[in-house]
Amino acid sequence: MHIDREVLYFIGSYGALCVLCCAVALIDLRHGIIPNWLNLAIAALGLANVVVTEGATAAFTAMASAVLVGAVFWLLQRLYFALRHVDGLGLGDVKFLAAATIWVGTTGIPTLLLIAALAALAVAGGLQLAGHEMKRQTSIPFGPFLALGLLLTSALQSWLALI
């Protein structure tokens, strides 16, 4: 049985992304933060992936897109804090979204956010049904849901590219 080099590369890069996203989820659940080194690792792996699959020029576009998405979500985070005086998104979430942009592009961010939001709502609903008191002020780490959104969006984009 012969496995194409590109398939092996995809399995390796996606596998590494899975490991990093699992680390994001576990650390955010346990400590309420997404470490900078993890966001940097996701971004660096994404840039390497872009260079290998699309070329060095595409890496500059991916970095510019990441900066743009990071800036937009940082502004939204600051605006929400100014209006509500509580954090809606942590800065780790904002940096994760910037790093994720390198993987899925700006067009993949809405899908990633939809998956993350629906998963978070499902968990919040499940917790409510299980008897946990869920208030407006109840904080649920969003990193695990963003990580799930990144993995599913990236896989979906790869699958759609095949058909």
| pLDDT value of position 8 | 83
Structure tokens at 62: 């991916």
Average pLDDT over residues 11-25: 97
Region 145-160: what's the mean pLDDT? 96
**Is the pLDDT confidence value at 18 over 90?**
yes
Each residue's pLDDT tens digit, 38-94: 999 999 999 999 999 999 999 999 999 999 999 999 999 999 999 999 888 999 999
Distance from the first to the final alpha carbon of the chain: 23
| Higher per-residue confidence, 115 vs 85 | 115
Q: How many domains does the chain have?
A: 1
Q: Where are the alpha helices (DSSP H) in 32-89?
A: 36-54, 56-84
Q: What pLDDT sits at residue 2?
A: 67
pLDDT of residue 5: 80
pLDDT of 1 over the 70 cut: no
Q: How many CB atoms lie within 10 A of CB 39?
A: 24
Residue 70: the pLDDT is: 99
Q: What residues make up the domain containing 93?
A: 5-162
- Lookup result for tokens 């939001």: 117
